Copies of this chain bind each other. A is one copy, B any other.
Amino acid sequence: MPATLRDVAELAQVSVRTVSNVVSGYAHVSERMRQRVLAAIEELDYRANPVARTLRTGRTGMLALVVPEIDVPYFSELARDVIDAAAEFGYRVMIDQTGHDHERERRLLMGDDRTMLFDGILFSPLVTKSELLDMHRSEHMPLVLLGEHEFDGRFDHVAIDNVRAARDAVAHLAASGRTRIAAIGAQPLEEYSTPLLRTAGYEAALEEAGLEAPPEYATPAPHYSRTDGYGAATALLALSPRPDAIFCFSDLLAVGAMRAVFDAGLSVPEDVAVIGIDDIEEGRFARPSLSTVSLDTPFIAREAVRRIAARIDDPSAPAEEVVAPHRLVVRESTAAV
């Protein structure tokens, strides 16, 4: 029979309530008392089961990775890299999906009950900037944000330079001789950061290249999905003048856009060049292979795990922002013609 709280209390010569307070992490226990209880816990190897041990150590050895949609390849490939990186730090990772549910994201950041099963959260949010400003859970639960840009310094954050990534993609299209460059994923319905920042990069690159684009060249894409890309590209191809290049805000959008070009009886890259962002494996095997801006997900994963591990060990450490590198990868879909 494993040791009970009472056994611990007897050995430490304190009340059961004091032991309970210590293992629950409540304040109002003197350091001297706490040490006495911890020594007794150690000596008796008090751990009725893993959940009880969680009470004792306050650690589960598990991180939660929270993403909007696990069936989006960018997130599933990021998850793979996070799992690999976490293993090097001795953590296991479980993946949670918010499913574009803002309310769920908010509850999670405000401190959903179940998040207490984890030592820390790696969070790739869809929340808008103003929503994020309302959240203040980070003092209680170690949290690292992934992928967005322009937070306010209260959160650990591994960012992407979204403006620059978009600018690099569009500058490449312009340098390849394309003059009518459209965008899929711009014009967000809500004030999400990523689409706004990538739209800013798109517009900056057009201006730098001395190009203009009619407003209808910047099209929305609610879910960055293949279906969204297909629908948006089909609409773009019906415009006059027709775009000769499409910059998609994700590779998945670009895969859908390429299929739409073929179904319209046109060719990629001959009639329309297509480029994405992400560098998912699907794009490397697509036909034609997809040019993209490669986000360094192994770097993002490693930095995120390094930050969360540091924060778990020292919850009062100042928040840190790391910007992950990216690079243009030119493949068949944007070949000059």
Contact = CB atoms under 8 A, between A and B. Distances in A.
Interface in A6-61: 6, 9, 15-17, 20-21, 24, 26, 48-52, 54-55, 60-61
Contact of A259 (B70, B80, B287): B287
A143 B62 CA distance: 21
A8 to B, nearest CB: 10
A110 to B, nearest CB: 14
A268 B319 CA distance: 53
Q: Is the interface of A mostly helix, strand, loop or mixed?
A: helix
Nearest to A287: B287
Given A5-B5, A70-B70, A52 B49 contact: no
A222 interface: no
Contacts of A79: 70-71, 95, 97
Most interface-central of A70, A95, A230 (chain B CB within 10 A):
A70
A95 to B, nearest CB: 4
A76 B70 contact: yes
A256 interface: yes
A281 interface: yes
Interface stretch (A112-120, A174-182, A203-211, A320-328): A112-120
B97 A83 contact: yes
A60 B226 contact: no
B6 A16 contact: yes
- Sort chain A's interface into a size bin: 35 or more
A4 to B, nearest CB: 4
A20 B49 contact: no
Interface in A59-108: 60-62, 64, 69-71, 73, 76-77, 79-80, 83, 92, 94-97, 99
Given A5-B20, A94-B96, A259-B287, 15 more contacts: A4-B20, A5-B5, A5-B16, A51-B54, A60-B114, A62-B117, A69-B80, A70-B76, A70-B95, A80-B97, A83-B97, A92-B114, A94-B94, A226-B284, A255-B285
25 contacts: A4-B16, A4-B17, A4-B20, A6-B16, A6-B17, A9-B16, A24-B52, A49-B116, A51-B116, A60-B117, A62-B114, A62-B117, A71-B77, A73-B76, A76-B76, A79-B97, A80-B97, A92-B114, A94-B96, A95-B95, A258-B287, A262-B287, A282-B282, A286-B287, A287-B287
- Which 6 residue pairs spanning A and B have beta carbons closest together? A94-B94, A95-B95, A71-B80, A76-B76, A50-B113, A4-B20
Interface of A: 1, 4-6, 9, 15-17, 20-21, 24, 26, 48-52, 54-55, 60-62, 64, 69-71, 73, 76-77, 79-80, 83, 92, 94-97, 99, 113-114, 116-117, 226, 230, 255-256, 258-259, 262, 281-282, 284-287
